[in-house]
Amino acid sequence: MRPRGQFWWVAVMAITAVGLVACSPSQPTAAPTATAGATPSSVPTPEPSHDFKPGAAGIGDPYFPAYGNGGYDVASYGIKVKYDPKTDKLSGDVTITAAATQDLSGFNLDLAGLSVRSVTVDDVAATVRRQANELIVTPAKGIASGGTFVTHVVYDGVPKPVKNKYKDLGEGGWFATADGAIVLGQPDSAAGWFPVNDHPLDKAVYTIEATVPKGLTAVSNGVLGTTTTTGAWTTWTWSESKPMASYLSTLVIGKFRVTTGTHNGKPVYSAVTTKIAKGAADTSVAHTVKIADFLETQFGPYPFDSYGGVVISDDRIHFALETQSRPVYSAGFFRNGVNDTVIAHELAHQWFGDAIAVHHWEDIWLNEGFARYAEWLWNDHAGVQSAQKSFNLTYQRSTPDVWKTPPGRPGAAHIFDATVYDRGAMTLHALRKAVGDRAFFAIVKAWTTEKTGGNGTTAEFVALAEKESGKQLDSLFDAWLYGKTKPKL
């Protein structure tokens, strides 16, 4: 994600299952004699006993304890929403397929606001109660660990942005506009428009069907499937077949200039709001594929099934976000002309942040440091400025605050501070200088090869860097990621 408002940065009840227990006789008995045509008798296999308990109300992130939920892992979301901008009314119908990771008597979903009309688990009505942004579901019977279950939630209401308790992190979720809506945000936004296990640790595949008034466009993640108009309504169906963290889901509804095509056999779909004149924004987004091609040479194969971008214009949103396969950009980034740097930043996130999500939000530098470094790599490639010069200028111009807050441990309120971006990128350049270009890019490509589709931690990245380079790198990472003084060059 690009920093907010900084265009100048360029760019349950417990259920006890009683199992049958086979009692062994105190003295051995002779085996029965089988007779012709008879089926040998057998002792019934005991059914497993279960200790059903509710899943945790948080997934375990130290920075955001209430985010996500425990006890299950989601495989897929089937999201169907209908939205009328005239009334700001959203109607939702969501099917969640998940596997229990413990014996579950109940589980939580994250949902901010909105009225829940019904919840079923495996087609049987469940008991539901609300507590703040938690939807607490108790199914009719316990779910055994390892078992797959399907939850169906019907809901409606007027969606609102989700407020973060840390003011500097802003709001995310559903932003109503005059002719539609903009749905995005980080670190949380998904819970503002559908029930979800809202943390990057629980990635899933998505199908998103958005029904909107005829004449409007509804853009989401992944590949566009059918577009069907019935009467005054049009349904747009999008599918993201690669695992996606919930905050990377998006839905943008409005009037756009749409461009489509294919690149490397994959569909390209981009949309620029008609609120701004055709120009630099359109040109910049059109550069997506060539910038992605360059980044492939640095990071490895592009990780998703489609390309594109969305440009919006709204006074409340002054940032860009790496929504999976199709980043969303504020029009302000293109106010002064073509801006390939911000495109490079958000495209780099397709590898770092999207294909490889953070394990905990403390690991955010692995997203933003790589994205900032991608800006330097692109500008070097484009002949604008070498990566070394970008490093030098960033080092020279860095403020004391950048060095007071370690990017490897920024604190929940500071996950989008300059230190995460700038020191994150400087850490990578320092690593490159320490191990050499060949080893550095081997590290990067090994990271994307091993971690794509999952999550990564700082400790894992450091271990991989040491393995690939054959060097002991504790002092380097201690200084650049965790130190509170400016390292000497």
Residue 473 binned pLDDT confidence (cut-offs 50, 70, 90): very high
> 411-418 — which CB contacts under 8 Å span 24+ positions?
411/63, 412/63, 412/64, 412/166, 412/361, 413/166, 413/168, 413/169, 414/168, 415/63, 415/169, 415/187, 415/361, 415/364, 416/1, 416/3, 416/4, 416/168, 416/169, 416/186, 416/364, 416/368, 418/3
- Higher-confidence residue of 18 and 362: namely 362
Read off the pLDDT of residues 348-372 as tens digits, 9 standing for 90 and up. 999 999 999 999 999 999 999 999 9
Q: 131 Cβ partners below 8 Å, 6+ apart?
A: none
pLDDT computed for residue 470 by the predictor: 98
| % of the chain at pLDDT higher than 70 | 90
Quote the pLDDT of residue 19: 35
Q: What is the pLDDT of residues 49-91, one digit of tens each?
A: 789 999 999 999 999 999 999 999 999 999 999 999 999 999 9
Q: What is the mean pLDDT of residues 100-116?
A: 98
Q: Is the predicted pLDDT of residue 207 greater than 70, yes or no?
A: yes
Four-residue CA torsion sign, 96, 99, 100, 101: negative
pLDDT at 25 (0 to 100): 32
Q: How much is the mean pLDDT over the chain?
A: 92
Residue 27 has pLDDT above 60, yes or no: no
Three-state secondary structure call for residue 467: helix
Who contacts 105 (Cβ-Cβ below 8 Å, separation ≥6)?
12, 13, 14, 15, 52, 53, 54, 138, 142
Architecture of domain 54-247: Sandwich (2.60)
pLDDT per position as a tens digit, 139-193: 999 999 999 999 999 999 999 999 888 888 889 999 999 999 999 999 999 999 9
The pTM assigned to this predicted structure is 0.90
Domain ranges of the chain: 54-247, 255-355, 361-482
Per-residue confidence band for 343, with pLDDT thresholds at 50, 70 and 90: very high
Read off the pLDDT of residues 225-236 as tens digits, 9 standing for 90 and up.
Answer: 999 999 999 999
Burial of 380 (0-12, 13-18, 19+ CB in 10 A): middle
Query: Thinking of the domain 361-482, which architecture would CATH place it in?
Result: Orthogonal Bundle (1.10)
Q: What is the CATH number of domain 255-355?
A: 1.10.390.10
CA distances for 222 relative to 251, 256, 321, angstroms: 11, 18, 15
The answer to whether the 54-247 and 361-482 domains have the same CATH topology is no
Cα–Cα dist 16/52, whole Å: 6
Each residue of 393-440: pLDDT tens digit? 999 999 999 999 999 999 999 999 999 999 999 999 999 999 999 999
Tell me the pLDDT band of 42, cut-offs 50, 70 and 90: low
